[in-house]
Amino acid sequence: MAEAHRDLIVVGASAGGVEALRTLVAGLPAELPATVAVVLHMPAGGASALPAILDRSGPLPAVFARSGMPLTPGQVCVAPPDHHLLVVEDRFALSHGPTENGHRPAVDALFRSAAIAGGPRVTCVVLSGVLDDGVAGAVAVRARGGLVVVQSPADALHPGMPENVLRHVRADRVLPAAELGAALAELARERVAPSSAPPTPPQVEQEDRIVRDWRGIVGDTHMIGEASGYTCPDCNGVLNEVHPGTLRFRCQIGHAWSVEALAQAQGDAFEKALWTALRTLEEKVRLSERMLENARARGDGRQAARYQGRLEESVRAVDVLRGFLLARGEPVPEEGVASGDQLG
């Protein structure tokens, strides 16, 4: 049986992840016998200086990954903004496929593709971040015989991602970021037998195909999973539960959501709707005031009474809704509320 070693390290991070990544790569040796692939959740627009930052932080060269780029030991390859970074056989691929938990690039997409391509050759690393990104990908890596390494939650600026992975997956190492480089170098030299890897779970293969071959999947009538009764925050389509009991969802377009990310997105949509409603009510107050003034100027007492009632009703609604939002401690959106200073 042919042997190999753990020559593929895939790293995922989100909020607070830049400092953790810098510390990790600083601890990697120049002769690392593995390729390092990195996904940092970031906004889709704009440029990223992450390769330059990591290139200066440690002995390994760091570059943006490109489609078709071979896996090269001793190199750090970073997902570019607005593209999923995937591993296909022994090369990288970039995809503009559906977002996962609202992100592109997404940690889970990288981990899942690496698990399929590398099996026990893969070590996934989960660093600082919020919510439960990385859990599904770490489960896929473990299912294929790979290793799971997690930054100590106490060491992470945002411990949500490490804590959630530890709740669902047995980790092979849980270490502060400063100790991860040396541990990964040690693990990379371990011998493994790729042919002995357990088979890839069917739903993992299907989710990888959705992201990798997304142009041919959109509109596919063979939806993954069963209808959940929830709505996709990205496109308002029906979400299917990927696999019974997993609490992971995909819509027909392909957008993927974990249960925590879905709840967060629903909460954000709810808050946005409330602020929009408040702004609309405040505009109704101003319009009612003008209509009342106009009716009084015309001497139309009947219409003035009608507009006075409408004005008082709208002011009461504004007071109730604004009081509810402020009691929740929600900040006023950047675009502001039309007359917030006048009616507070």
Place of tokens 């991602």: 161
Q: Does domain 4-196 have CATH number 3.60.150.10?
A: no
Place of tokens 């799971």: 148
Instruction: Give the span between the Cα atoms of 305 and 222, in whole angstroms.
Output: 60
- What DSSP state is assigned to residue 235? T
- Predicted confidence at residue 330, as pLDDT, reads 56
Rg of the chain on CA atoms, in Å: 25
| Beta-ladder partners of 79 | none
Domain map (residue ranges) of the chain: 4-196, 218-254, 262-343
- Predicted confidence at residue 243, as pLDDT, reads 73
Which ranges of the chain have pLDDT less than 50? Answer: 1, 217-222, 334-344
Instruction: Give the span between the Cα atoms of 220 and 120, in whole angstroms.
Output: 32
- Predicted confidence at residue 264, as pLDDT, reads 87
Instruction: Give the span between the Cα atoms of 198 and 124, in whole angstroms.
Output: 17
- Predicted confidence at residue 329, as pLDDT, reads 66
Which residue, among 87, 137, 80, 136, has the nearest Cα to 104 in the 3D structure? 80
- The model carries a pTM of 0.81
Residue 216, amino acid: G
Which residue, among 309, 307, 283, has the nearest Cα to 295 in the 3D structure? 307
* Active-site annotation holder among 108, 133, 155, 208: 133
- Predicted confidence at residue 128, as pLDDT, reads 98
- Predicted confidence at residue 270, as pLDDT, reads 75
Active site residue 41: yes
- Predicted confidence at residue 77, as pLDDT, reads 98
Active site residue 128: no
Token reading at 148: 């799971």
* Active-site annotation holder among 7, 14, 57, 208: 14
Instruction: Give the span between the Cα atoms of 320 and 313, in whole angstroms.
Output: 11
Instruction: Give the span between the Cα atoms of 217 and 210, in whole angstroms.
Output: 6
Burial of 70 (0-12, 13-18, 19+ CB in 10 A): exposed
Residues 6+ apart with CB under 8 A from 198: 119, 143, 144, 145
Q: Is the dihedral of CA 53, 56, 57, 61 positive or negative?
A: positive
- Predicted confidence at residue 339, as pLDDT, reads 35
Instruction: Give the span between the Cα atoms of 118 and 146, in whole angstroms.
Output: 8
